[in-house]
């Protein structure tokens, strides 16, 4: 038989490693020895577990009880990656695991949010059933935890201590670190970023902030889809993420006007529409990136949402950001945009759409449009030309709500013409989408009117496109633009506020 030798004066870790190697060698030699023995009673190469090896395994167990791990590299469990910054996911070697029913997923999400700290059974029950749990609640929780343990370690023996899930008097714990849990990695990167800022290394801080926010995929654990009511543990993680995003935005504004963080910040802000600090930062970043029109449109969207859903007006921080955006110089509207104007310099605008639903809330004009089958192209989304059609319909709806009479305008010998159009495409629209087109009128010179129209997808408030157009009023007889467009418009409109035509604009004209 094989003797196992360990040096008594070695440190326990070295004894442990030597013992592990000896176990493997002993197993190999004992198997070979048994196979060479005639009449050993084994069939088809099967090998029984020899008692000396069993004794050795008992010795290994003694080391494990002392907190020293003896791991056979050949039997190591496949690594797992846990993700809770967004819909909860667990992946083994890149393959996503089926985490089971809703309550089981919620239990795992709560364990992950605690980041290795114990979670009491009472807290789990409160999350799942509130104040009215079933009589079998404790057993149900225990069964779900057992199912998770077997999912993570299919070969685990009953009542054996698992690699990933542990339980004691304090509750259940999941054994994770920043290498396999995105939340812990996020916190480490955020700490690195703040430390770099304190050390005067803003570029390094920006890199760490960006890496941290790239881990964030949506609301913590996808909780809004799993829970009917908000749960504090998940909300706290979301607030932690939005705080990091706001800090990163402040730094990005100092470094490059916010351009490097714009896409990331827009993605995070989409999921936190009522976080005014974050939304204010996004408006400033948009403006600093040369997208003032989108920043202004976003403010109007937020104000409408706050009034409709919460019954409040924007707070001081959001209002302050809006004023700062308005004070900044107007961006180059045509930069980076797809040209859609026709070859003719003067293209007459289509007549108004009488069936369109529109409204003026005292601040902005909004027209509501539903994407129809005739708008869809071969790729399954709205044709690019239809975005312009939506904008034209919305601007005519605004003029109609302001009291414009087409017959009176025509009888006066003037008509609107489109001088230039550009579209910035941001998100696709598909069949059945409901769109809110917010129209803003600007008067940069006496002869022209600039319209900035933001197309929002109503279901989630996402900005799908921005249409910017320059129009004028043509003297039909002389075939030239009238010199005082604002004054002429005022003569034919009953409500000047709808088209942002204040007295100051008439004075300038």
Q: What is the pLDDT of residue 343?
A: 33
In angstroms, rounded to a whole number, what is the distance separating the alpha carbons of residues 455 and 384?
A: 13
* Structure token digits, residue 42: 């084994």
Q: Which residues pair with 221 in a beta bridge?
A: 87
Angle between helices 51-65 and 12-36 (to 10 degrees): 160
Collect all residues with Cβ–Cβ distance below 8 Å to 56 and sequence separation of at least 6. 4, 19, 22, 23, 26
Give the start-end residues of each E strand in 316-433. Answer: 338-339, 347-348, 357-360, 365-370, 414-425
- Mapping DSSP onto H, E and C, the string for 72-90 reads CHHHCCCCEEEECCCECEE
Pairing mode, strands 171-174 and 347-348: unpaired
Q: Cα–Cα distances in Å, from 100 out to 88, 108, 145?
A: 11, 10, 11
**Number of neighbouring beta carbons within 10 Å of residue 435:** 21
* 3-class state of residue 92 by DSSP: strand
What are the residue ranges in the chain where pLDDT is below 70?
1-78, 160, 228, 328-364, 406, 502-509
For 54, 64, 73, 327, the CA distances from 12, given in Å and listed in that order, are: 21, 11, 19, 69
Neighbours of 44 (CB within 10 A): 4
| CATH of range 77-272; options 3.30.230.10, 3.40.50.10320, 1.10.10.10, 1.10.10.350 | 1.10.10.10
pLDDT digits (tens, 9 = 90+) for 267-322: 888 888 888 989 999 998 888 888 888 888 888 888 888 888 888 888 888 888 88
- Rounded to two decimals, the pTM is 0.52
Domain ranges of the chain: 1-36+48-74, 77-272, 273-331, 338-508
Q: Name the fold adopted by 338-508.
A: Thiol Ester Dehydrase; Chain A (3.10.129)
Distance CA 153, CA 174 (A): 13
User: How confident is the model at residue 116, as a pLDDT?
Assistant: 81
In angstroms, how far apart are the furthest CA atoms of the chain?
A: 115
Task: Pick the closest to residue 292 from 254, 321, 268 (CA basis).
Answer: 321
Tell me the HSE value of 27 on the side-chain side, using a 13 A CA sphere. Answer: 14
DSSP character at residue 119: B
Q: Of 464, 437, 467, 473, whose CA–CA distance to 451 is shortest?
A: 467
């Amino acid at each position: 038989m094989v003797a196992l030798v360990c040096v008594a004066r070695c440190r326990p870790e070295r004894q442990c490693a030597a013992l592990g190697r000896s176990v493997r060698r002993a197993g190999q030699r004992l198997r070979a020895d048994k196979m060479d023995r005639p009449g050993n009673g084994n069939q088809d190469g099967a090998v029984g577990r020899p008692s000396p090896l069993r004794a050795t395994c008992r010795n290994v167990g003694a080391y494990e009880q002392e907190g020293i791990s003896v791991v056979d590299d050949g039997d190591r469990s496949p690594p797992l990656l846990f993700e809770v910054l967004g819909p909860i996911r667990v992946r083994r070697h890149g393959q996503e695991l089926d985490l089971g029913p809703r309550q089981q997923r919620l239990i795992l999400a709560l364990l992950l949010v605690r980041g290795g700290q114990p979670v009491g059974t009472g807290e789990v029950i409160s999350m799942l059933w509130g104040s009215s749990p079933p009589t079998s609640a404790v057993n149900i929780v225990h069964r779900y935890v057992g199912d998770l343990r077997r999912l993570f370690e299919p070969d685990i023996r009953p009542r054996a201590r698992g690699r990933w899930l542990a339980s004691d008097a304090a509750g259940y714990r999941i054994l994770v670190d920043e290498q396999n849990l995105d939340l812990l990695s996020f916190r480490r990167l955020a700490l690195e970023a703040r430390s770099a800022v304190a050390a005067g290394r803003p570029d390094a801080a920006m890199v760490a902030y960006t890496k941290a926010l790239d881990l964030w995929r949506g609301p913590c654990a996808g909780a809004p889809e799993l829970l009917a009511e908000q749960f504090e543990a998940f909300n706290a993680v979301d607030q932690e993420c939005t705080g990091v995003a706001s800090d990163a935005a402040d730094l990005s504004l100092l470094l490059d006007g916010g351009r490097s963080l714009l896409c990331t910040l827009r993605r995070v802000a989409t999921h936190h529409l009522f976080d005014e600090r974050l939304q204010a930062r996004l408006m400033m970043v948009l403006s600093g990136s040369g997208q003032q029109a989108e920043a202004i449109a976003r403010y109007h969207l937020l104000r409408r949402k706050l009034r409709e859903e919460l019954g409040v007006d924007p707070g001081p921080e959001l209002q302050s950001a809006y004023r700062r955006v308005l004070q900044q110089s107007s961006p180059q509207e045509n930069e980076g945009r797809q040209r859609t104007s026709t070859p003719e310099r003067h293209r007459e605008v289509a007549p108004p759409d009488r069936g369109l639903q529109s409204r003026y809330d005292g601040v902005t004009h909004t027209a509501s449009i539903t994407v129809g089958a005739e708008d869809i192209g071969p790729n399954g989304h709205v044709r690019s030309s239809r975005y312009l059609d939506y904008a034209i319909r919305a601007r005519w709806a605004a003029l109609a709500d302001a009291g414009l009479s087409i017959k009176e305008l025509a009888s006066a010998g003037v008509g609107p013409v489109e001088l230039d159009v550009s579209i910035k495409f941001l998100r696709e629209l598909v069949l059945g989408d409901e769109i809110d087109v917010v129209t803003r009128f600007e008067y940069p010179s006496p002869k022209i009117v600039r319209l900035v129209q933001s197309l929002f997808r109503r279901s989630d408030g996402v900005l799908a496109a921005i249409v910017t157009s320059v129009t004028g009023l043509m003297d039909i007889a002389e075939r030239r633009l009238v010199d005082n467009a604002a004054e002429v418009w005022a003569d034919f409109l009953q409500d000047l506020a709808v088209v942002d035509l204040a007295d100051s604009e008439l004075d300038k004209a």
